[in-house]
Amino acid sequence: MARRFVYGFGGKKAAGNARMKNLLGGKGANLAEMTNLGIPVPPGFTITTEACNNFYKNNRKLSRALQEEVNGAMRNVEKLMGRKFGDAKNPLLVSVRSGARRSMPGMMETVLNIGLTEKTIPGLIKQSGEERFVYDAYRRLIMMYSDVVMEKGAGIEPQAEESGIRRQLEKIMNEMKKEKNYESDLDLKPEDLKVLCNKFKQRIKQVLKSDFPDDHNSQLWGGISAVFASWFGKRAVSYRRIEEIPDDWGTAVNVQAMVFGNMGKNSATGVAFTRNPGNGENHFYGEYLVNAQGEDVVAGIRTPAPLNESSKSITKSNLETLEKVMPDLYRKLDTYQKRLERHYKDMQDIEFTIENGVLYMLQTRVGKRNGPAAVKMALDMLKEKLISQEEAVRRVTPSQLDELLHPMVDPKAELTKKPIAKGLPAGPGGAAGQVVFSSNEAVAWAKSGKHVILVREETNPEDVEGMRVARAVLTARGGMTSHAALVARGWGKCCIVGCGDLHIDYEKKEMNVSGKIYREGDWLTLNGTKGNVYEGKLPMMETAEENVLLNQFLKICDAIRRLGIRANADTPDDARRARKFGAEGIGLMRTEHMFYGKGSEEPLFRLRKMIVSKTAEERRKALDELYPYVKKDIKGVLEAMDGMPVVMRLLDPPLHEFVPREKARLDQLAKELNISADELAQRADALHESNPMMGHRGVRLGITYPEITAMQVRAIFEAAAELIQQGRTPYPEIMVPVVAEARELLSQKKIVDEIYQEVLAKYNLKKIKYLYGTMIEIPRACIVAGEIARTVQFFSFGTNDLTQMGFGFSRDDIGGFLAEYIAKGILPQDPFQSIDQSGIGELIETGITRGRGTNPTLEVGICGEHGGDPQSVHFCHCVSMDYVSCSPFRVPIARLAAAQAALEHPAKKKTSNKKKPRRKKK
Amino acid sequence: MARRFVYGFGGKKAAGNARMKNLLGGKGANLAEMTNLGIPVPPGFTITTEACNNFYKNNRKLSRALQEEVNGAMRNVEKLMGRKFGDAKNPLLVSVRSGARRSMPGMMETVLNIGLTEKTIPGLIKQSGEERFVYDAYRRLIMMYSDVVMEKGAGIEPQAEESGIRRQLEKIMNEMKKEKNYESDLDLKPEDLKVLCNKFKQRIKQVLKSDFPDDHNSQLWGGISAVFASWFGKRAVSYRRIEEIPDDWGTAVNVQAMVFGNMGKNSATGVAFTRNPGNGENHFYGEYLVNAQGEDVVAGIRTPAPLNESSKSITKSNLETLEKVMPDLYRKLDTYQKRLERHYKDMQDIEFTIENGVLYMLQTRVGKRNGPAAVKMALDMLKEKLISQEEAVRRVTPSQLDELLHPMVDPKAELTKKPIAKGLPAGPGGAAGQVVFSSNEAVAWAKSGKHVILVREETNPEDVEGMRVARAVLTARGGMTSHAALVARGWGKCCIVGCGDLHIDYEKKEMNVSGKIYREGDWLTLNGTKGNVYEGKLPMMETAEENVLLNQFLKICDAIRRLGIRANADTPDDARRARKFGAEGIGLMRTEHMFYGKGSEEPLFRLRKMIVSKTAEERRKALDELYPYVKKDIKGVLEAMDGMPVVMRLLDPPLHEFVPREKARLDQLAKELNISADELAQRADALHESNPMMGHRGVRLGITYPEITAMQVRAIFEAAAELIQQGRTPYPEIMVPVVAEARELLSQKKIVDEIYQEVLAKYNLKKIKYLYGTMIEIPRACIVAGEIARTVQFFSFGTNDLTQMGFGFSRDDIGGFLAEYIAKGILPQDPFQSIDQSGIGELIETGITRGRGTNPTLEVGICGEHGGDPQSVHFCHCVSMDYVSCSPFRVPIARLAAAQAALEHPAKKKTSNKKKPRRKKK
């Protein structure tokens, strides 16, 4: 049987349903579902995503079979609407819209009013009685069609955006408005529009070397092809890269009978959310425009009016609400939105149009929301028993949670400042940055390491790249559902829109805010939660620790997750913060980090002295001097984490890293060691390595200089002993880094055992609870993990180095090629961001399986930076690790990701502490 | 049943036999075997190697059970000898000797004349009628016993060797000789010896704080314990490390009735080989000393006489032969040696003693031989049908074969020079080096990269380290069986012994040779094959290619081996040499190496120009200029290897490696590129990397600069096309290096496919035979080898980089710790010398299994430097590689090692070209 490419809907009956998103796209599937739910939807049909893939296989041609199916479906729509496509008397107009599996707002093309031709215009005028409306629709069709189908769809690249056909036509229209002294598009008379349409057609012919098609079928096929073509348009491809959407998903095309919100004062169009997507509050919330088409709302050209009172308070608009203007229709709308939310059990983002007093629902989809809203909705819907606890956990993405952890403007600092402007709080959190006025500038400035705030009249999809790199986005126009607001919210980015006091001069690269000029490079601070814009750079603060809802939500996560969560922390302060974020221990304390960023340079100096020591005697002396500092810091961290495990990594980096570079410091060092500067330079040179990452570091230092290991281990045990005497319960885990071979660990263990006994005796203790373990970060260590595990009690995977050596990628040197690797699709993503599961992941799995094979009680964790990456946390869950460890700020993310992993893979029980050796996964 | 620890032999009957070497040690097993063969052996018994291990388990104590067994065995010996151990009237004396599974010449201890006490001396004098002999034996016992048992065996470390008890006693003896004006030990009268023994005992008491034991049983137990203890003596341990003998083999102890070669003129002792160990000729060959104990021959203190005429010509001695002096006994000896060689089917190294006209065989073992001798004997014995073809291949070790490949002094240069001295040709080949006079100096000089010749009066086991690092060894004393000769021969090292014209002054670090002084650091050249010493540094030449016997032997190897052998070669000259050595193809041509070491700097300059190009255009221009040079070199190698495969690796090193360092060159480059010196410096800096080994190199360059790949691939195909047009059959294999991911290879394959088609068209050819493949040298590549193999036709394992990244060992930076790793036993050997089979080896195996799993016809080879290491060749055979590739000079070694691997693992058939995917080894 031939594949079916077209699925119709309309008349309370649809061939598709909401579960068919992959085939029909999100919009198509939901149009079908709404139809089935008895909600009034203009009839139409969906062309499947498979047809899109076929289009590309077929060299960008629509197949004969598809055309026949479309024609058949069109007959059905004609029947339901009682109009005929291309008919002179009673013509049917249709819209052609994209609809991918996942929403890609504004990334692909739409053509409205298809079917309007010289032949059908008179009939439509007769039917509607609105000549102006018809010519305005024709004008819109010509503008969109020439842009979307004739220019972009045909692959014609205008030299600059300004020379694109759409801008040229807009210019013609603006000239006429100026000439006639019109303020708004609405002032254009039917005669004006007729003239305009003709001028448009002439310009199109002149610029694009072809005629605007005056045939309804040509318009339809052109529209469908253009939507398919837009799937591989530059913007869409770039968006997919960012959002990691595969190319082969394809887009569906929805062809639907046109209904008009711009057929006069009794018509309207609007966009709404069943709950507030900005804070999650349970109020029906939306905006509408009288006598307008849907694009007018989204494009942010006219500021829309609030749907109801609760929307009013948010949009800060005093325009009249739909509730007041058309109360009956509003009630119907409210009924539909409630039905939809109950049906979908999630907040819906809906579009509607009122044509001459008749309400049509054009779209419903799960609404995008920001992080705070996601958490609140999840908790509320759980309370409302709309969803289960598990579902609540699934409802918040790690990146949404991340938004809650974003910096906020310090409220105290804010109190002292008066905002220079106010706008709509479209994206929460705070940000400070230097002003730029174009997407390209934003990208360039950000590349050079600057924090920028992108300021635009309004944004459009061309601005996506700049929005991404900006710390915050600020627009002069548009509402909470404008492009800028939608995109920024999706990314959890600080954003203020509709800030009417801004008057931007793109050419001069400056803006006038209430009489004061701000130029490119000036600093602004935005409070995206309140919508306030401040001059200068205000201090930020972290608020996540105090967020009650967040903590409530994370507690639910904690009940579901199996993975333990620890934090990487090097100082007592870090450790305390980690605890506040919910860390259950320290997974990595880099003992050498304690030497940096201190008030005193004393410890670092002693360390350096040790590093450049030449004889064991010199070194021992320097170590003795260093000892009290090391012990103090270790004790501080153990104390802060009282009762919880703290993994302490012995000295890891190659010694050359610590050699000072400044002459004064070198001289001081030489003097202290009683050697000449030349001698010191020689010693420092001797430490230099060609490939330090694979040089004399980690356990290799411990083997050639056992006295270094001894000093550190003594500091750990003595710090613990002193805490025990003070009634605390320290729990150090001693971790040996850079191990490639079991015998390295045996050699270090001798030292640990010896010093353990010495310290017990010295403090008259029977026992100090501790573990001896190793970092698994060398590929060979994964292979010989079975041998290694016989000597140790825990493994902690150092996935940074494992990725470096497994790939042969020096993290410091990938700049030359990694971007190109990702751009060319050779690697799907940066393996330092997210664990490369097919390669490095298998090494990890091998290491765990073999390690637990010889030591079933082996504790296994991860302490690379991957520990805070949600995908990697999933992986760690699936390979049965005991815990992940990440930076304190990522701990909440890890708690959520771990819970979601447990929901997705419930079978992956904690398998440590089992007696039976496990088998390697096939 | 309790384990048996003691195996007796004697009276034509022995409890053991030659197959029991693991238990009885080589010496003990052969004493048993000889006894069983009816050859006269002094009766005795062997204490097993298991008893040795027990001794260590038992805290260095001899168990009660062992003592009882020994006592029982001793009774048996007493019965066979008709004497009693410790008996005053007719006392039995015994020797106590070590005997490990494999011979470790001079590394462990021996005590002779045990059983001589104040009580037994009179009886022995009466029995032998030789008072002087008895007191001389007593003197020897005291010297050996105090040294071996009382000092070393008790773990007393003298502060310097000079202060050791043995040296002190020797000094006492020398003082007496001086005082009495005696020339030789033989001049000492019985009365002198009595005085000496008393002085010895006093000094021992004084130095070692204990009495020399005057009880036969104490002497016996002390001797046995000391031999066991010597297994973990410093020298033995160091020898085992070098020879890779496991510690847990242990040593056996042989206790045997003493027979005396020093009982007067009718007594003698000697050492012999059934064939000449220096050149393999089939002549009975040996040395003897009248009125001497065996140690006198081996120690090289007295120059021994030749056994027979054929020995005479070799030892260059005019002393009377045993054949002449004792013709009957010589005939008996000759009968025994023939019987032994026929029995063991291999050349034997035998020791004998004649006591008062009675011949005893003391030892037989497989004789050590040098490389040329090993090859000749193997071929001769094959011809004699003594051994099979397979056995002949087993008879030559790779390191023996290596000796044949050693440099020889250029004969033409030698003709023009007169030797400054002549000695015995103890180790073949030639060597030039700077003179040093102590083992420590040799080690120090060699460490700093110098070539040294170690010159000693005579060597002893303390000199082993220095001998190892020296290019050659030269001694003033000793014969062909002296310590120096034995050790040097075992290692295939150039060595001349017994060079009497040398007069060494250790203190002044100089020597006088016929009146001329040579100081430390002066250059000498040795021809170890002739025994000639030359002043200065003579040129060397290679002779292996011309060696007829070698080629004959290697042809036998070729018939047996399964592995193919290729060579690594970068130039046409290298390629031709490789072919001469028997290479069947080139396994690695490093295309970038062709730029170095040329007469003209032109190509290197063009390469540099390409490297520092900034735009694709600049780079393309530089590549165009470079192109003709690259093509010419590639063509040269393909031509030299006509009909054989040549693996050509695309550009591998990070570009920074090629940036010139000299100012003149930099200026020239800047000028050519029309940029400032600063700009050039900036570009060069931009190429600098922190860890270049894991940086922007190999395929990563090919992906970011596809034009580089294109240039190289075009050169390969055009070179091949031109050769085809000239009637040749080139066979390039294009190898992409540093691959971590299959998509890297897909991306490069597009370029290869495109250019292939272009070149076919240009030269109007239908086909150029070639393969597309990759180097597997990144750990991840082994993991994802299944994916990778779908794109390529061959894998070549780059084990250098695989070892670097698998271990995280930068080869340039391991200097700081690797030596310590090996000394401390953390690694058994340098993993860059021999493949680390348990770690890196498993990665390789995984790579092969997965690669052949998806591509059963995949060709698999190795091109790291391990390809010439015999152990690694065995490994490659076992993991079913198709070929190994190594440096041209190692090709013969690889041919032998591959044949031996095939004999050892006959089941490992060539498994490529099979349809069935293979499973990973458990």
Between B873 and B476, where is the model more confident? Answer: B873
Closest C-alpha among B919, B801, B800, B802 to residue A783? B802
Structure tokens at B512: 């006088």
Dihedrals phi, psi of B835, to nearest 5 degrees = -55, 130
- In this prediction, residue B785 carries a pLDDT of 98
Please state whether B630 falls in left (phi above 0), alpha (psi between -120 and 50) or beta.
alpha
Percent of chain B scoring above 90 in pLDDT: 61
pLDDT exceeds cutoff 90 at B799: yes
Using one digit for the tens of pLDDT, what is the confidence trace for A861-875? 999 778 888 999 999
Enumerate the residues of chain A whose CB falls inside 8 A of the CB of residue B778: 806-808
Q: Which residues of B touch A825 (CB under 8 A)?
A: 743
DSSP bridge partners of A454: A436, A473
Are the Cβ atoms of A817 and B747 closer than 8 angstroms?
A: no
Chain A residue numbers touching B696 (CB-CB < 8 A): 813-814, 816-817
Give the phi and the psi of residue A466 in degrees, each rounded to 5.
-65, -35
Q: What is the pLDDT of residue A492?
A: 63
Distance (Å) from the C-alpha of residue B662 to the closest C-alpha of chain A? 20
Q: Tally C-beta pairs within 8 A across A and B.
A: 169
Q: What backbone phi and psi angles, to 5 degrees, belong to B520?
A: -50, 130
Say which of B704, B821, B827 has its CB closest to residue A820: B704
Give the residue on A whose Cα is nearest the Cα of B699: A817
Q: Report, as an integer, the average pLDDT of B839-851.
A: 97
Question: Which tens digit of pLDDT belongs to each residue from B398-434?
Answer: 978 877 877 778 777 887 889 999 888 887 788 999 9
Cβ <8 Å between B691 and A691:
yes
Residue B768 pLDDT exceeds 90: yes
Instruction: Report CB contact under 8 Å: B827, A700.
Output: no
- Mark yes or no for CB contact A779/B843 under 8 Å: yes
pLDDT of residue B183: 81
What confidence score (pLDDT) does residue A597 get? Answer: 45
d(CA B739, CA B788): 9
pLDDT at B315: 66
What are the tens digits of pLDDT across the range B339-382?
999 999 999 999 999 998 999 998 888 898 878 889 999 999 99
Please tell me the distance in Å from B594's CA to the nearest CA on chain A. Answer: 24
| Nearest CA distance, A798 vs chain B (angstrom) | 13
pLDDT value at residue B339: 95
Residue with the larger pLDDT of the pair B483 and B835: B835
CA A788 → CA A652, A847, A850, A880, distances in Å?
Answer: 19, 10, 9, 19
- Higher pLDDT, residue B496 or A493: B496
CA B561 remoteness from chain centre: 22
Q: Cβ of B778 and A806 within 8 Å? A: yes
Among B615, B711, B104, CA closest to B365: B104
Does residue B244 or residue B879 have the better pLDDT?
B879
Using an 8 Å CB-CB cutoff, list chain A residues near B784.
838-839
From A337-346, A424-433, B41-50, the region with the lowest mean pLDDT? A424-433
Question: Maximum distance among all alpha carbons in chain A?
Answer: 104
Question: Is pLDDT larger for residue B882 or for residue A828?
Answer: B882
- Reduce the DSSP state of residue A18 to 3 states and report it: helix
- Helix, strand, coil percent content, chain A, rounded in steps of 5: 50, 15, 35
**CB spacing of B812 vs A696 below 8 angstroms:** no
Q: Is B863 one of the annotated active-site residues of the chain?
A: yes
Is residue A863 flagged as an active site residue? yes
**Which chain B residue has the Cα nearest residue A739?**
B807
Measured between CA atoms, the residue of chain A closest to residue B747 is A826
Tell me what pLDDT residue A484 has. Answer: 85
- Which of A782, A800, A817 is best to mutate for the B interface (most B CBs within 10 A)? A817
Which of the residue ranges A123-127, A535-539, B897-901 has the most confident prediction, judged by mean pLDDT? B897-901
Q: Is the pLDDT of residue A922 over 60?
A: no
User: In chain A, which residue's Cα lies nearest the Cα of B812?
Assistant: A690
3-state SS string over B325-361? HCHHHHHHHHHHHHHHHHHHCCCEEEEEEEECCEEEE
- B329-337's contacts with Cβ under 8 Å and 24+ in sequence apart are B329/B354, B329/B357, B329/B359, B332/B359, B333/B272, B333/B307, B333/B359, B334/B284, B336/B39, B336/B361, B337/B272, B337/B274, B337/B284
Contact check, Cβ <8 Å, B743/A827 = yes
- Cα distance between residue A753 and residue A31, in whole Å: 70
Average pLDDT, chain B: 89
Cβ atoms within 10 Å of B241's Cβ, excluding its own: 15
DSSP labels for A784-852? THHHHHTT-SEEEE-HHHHHHHHHT--TTTGGGTHHHHHHTTSSSS-TTTS--TTTHHHHHHHHHHHHH
Residue A780 has its nearest CB partner, among B747, B777, B840, at B840
Active-site entry in B863, B874, B876, B877: B863
Q: Is the pLDDT of residue B543 over 70?
A: no
User: Left (φ > 0), alpha (ψ -120 to 50) or beta: where does B129 sit?
Assistant: left
pLDDT of residue A600: 60
- pTM for the predicted model, two decimal places: 0.77
Helix (H, G, I), strand (E, B) or coil at A669: helix
- Over residues B840-850, the mean pLDDT reads 97
Give tens-digit pLDDT for B161-203: 678 898 899 999 999 999 999 987 878 999 999 999 999 999 9
Interface probe, candidates B809, B811, B824, B838, chain A, greatest A C-beta count within 10 A = B809
Banded model confidence at residue B700, pLDDT cuts 50, 70, 90: very high
Across the interface, whether the CB atoms of A694 and B690 are under 8 A apart is answered no
**pLDDT at residue B895 is higher than 60:** yes
pLDDT value, residue B490: 55
Q: How far is CA B102 from the centre of its chain?
A: 15
How far apart (Å, rounded) are the C-alpha atoms in residues A253 and A49? Answer: 8
- Calculate the average pLDDT of chain A: 89
Cβ-based contacts of A747 with chain B (< 8 Å): 824, 826
pLDDT for res A920: 43
Contact: B691, A694; criterion CB under 8 Å: yes
Distance (Å, rounded) from C-alpha B313 to C-alpha A801? 65
- Among chain A residues, the shortest Cα distance to B920 is held by A922
Contact assessment for residue B95 and residue B293, using Cβ atoms and an 8 Å cutoff: no
Residue A777: list chain B partners with CB under 8 A. 808
Residue A588 pLDDT > 90, yes or no? yes
| A552 in Cβ contact with A459 (< 8 Å) | no
Rounded Cα–Cα distance for residues A507 and A815 (Å): 34
Single out the catalytic residue among A197, A557, A863, A886: A863
Nearest to A703 among B744, B809, B817 (CB): B817
Residue A1: predicted pLDDT: 41
Strand order across the B358-366 sheet: B305-306, B285-290, B268-273, B348-355, B358-366
Single out the residue of B484, B438, B489, B445 nearest to residue B461, CA to CA: B484
Assess contact for A737 and A798: CB atoms under 8 A.
yes
Residue A916 has pLDDT above 50, yes or no: no
Most confident of A271-280, A318-327, B377-386: B377-386
Torsion of CA B700, B706, B708, B710, to 10 degrees: 130
> Based on C-alpha coordinates, what's the Rg of chain B?
32
User: Is A915's pLDDT higher than 70?
Assistant: no
Q: Can you give the three-state secondary structure of A312-366, one letter per residue?
A: HHHHCCCCCCHHHHCHHHHHHHHHHHHHHHHHHCCCEEEEEEEECCEEEEEEEEE
> Residue A850 pLDDT > 50, yes or no?
yes
Is A807's pLDDT higher than 90? yes
Mutate to test the interface with A, among B685, B707, B778, B783 (most CBs of A within 10 A): B783
Percentage of chain A with pLDDT > 70?
95
Per CB-CB distance under 8 Å, the chain B contacts of A778 are: 806-808
Contacts of B777 in chain A (CB under 8 A): 808
A251/A237 Cα distance (integer angstroms): 12
Whether B700 and A817 lie within 8 Å, measured CB to CB = yes
Flag the least confident range among A276-290, A520-534, A682-696, B214-228: A682-696
- pLDDT at residue number B542: 57
pLDDT of residue A681: 84
C-alpha A393, offset from chain centre: 18
Q: What value does the CA radius of gyration of chain A take, rounded to a whole number of Å?
A: 33
Which position among A483, A656, A866, A877 bears the catalytic label? A483
List, for residues B565-613, the tens digit of each pLDDT value. Answer: 999 988 898 899 899 999 999 999 988 776 654 445 677 788 888 888 8
Residues A158/A174, Cβ–Cβ less than 8 Å: no
pLDDT band at A921 (very low <50, low <70, confident <90, very high): very low
Of A783, A807, A824, the CB nearest to B842: A783
**Contact between chains at B813 and A703 (C-beta distance less than 8 A):** no
Identify the H or E element spanning B285: strand B285-290
Strand order in the sheet with B424-427: B421-422, B532-535, B523-527, B430-436, B452-456, B472-475, B494-497, B424-427
The CA-atom distances, in angstroms, between A503 and each of A421, A498, B374, B378 are 11, 12, 96, 98
Angle between helices A663-673 and A677-687 (to 10 degrees): 100
Query: What residue of B is the nearest CA neighbor of A744?
Result: B826
pLDDT band at residue A783 under the 50/70/90 scheme? very high
Q: Which residues of B touch A738 (CB under 8 A)?
A: 808
Q: Is B813 close to A689, i.e. CB distance below 8 A?
A: yes
Point out which residues pair with A884 in neighbouring strands: A565, A862
Q: Which residue has the higher pLDDT, B43 or A908?
A: B43
Kindly report the backbone phi and psi dihedral angles of residue A92, in degrees, each rounded to the nearest multiple of 5, phi listed first. Answer: -95, 130
Confidence of residue B488 (pLDDT cuts 50, 70, 90): confident
| Cα distances (angstroms) measured from residue B94 to each of B116, B209, B255, B259 | 9, 26, 6, 8
Residue A324 has pLDDT above 70, yes or no: yes
Distance from CA of B779 to the nearest CA of A (A): 5
Estimate the crossing angle of helix B49-57 against helix B216-230, to 10 degrees.
90
* Helices A64-81, A216-230: crossing angle, 10 deg rounding: 120
Using a CB-CB cut-off of 8 Å, the residues of chain B touching A700 are 816-817
A501/A294: higher pLDDT: A501
Cα A269-A275-A277 angle, rounded to 5 deg:
90
Helix (H) or strand (E) holding A10: strand A6-10
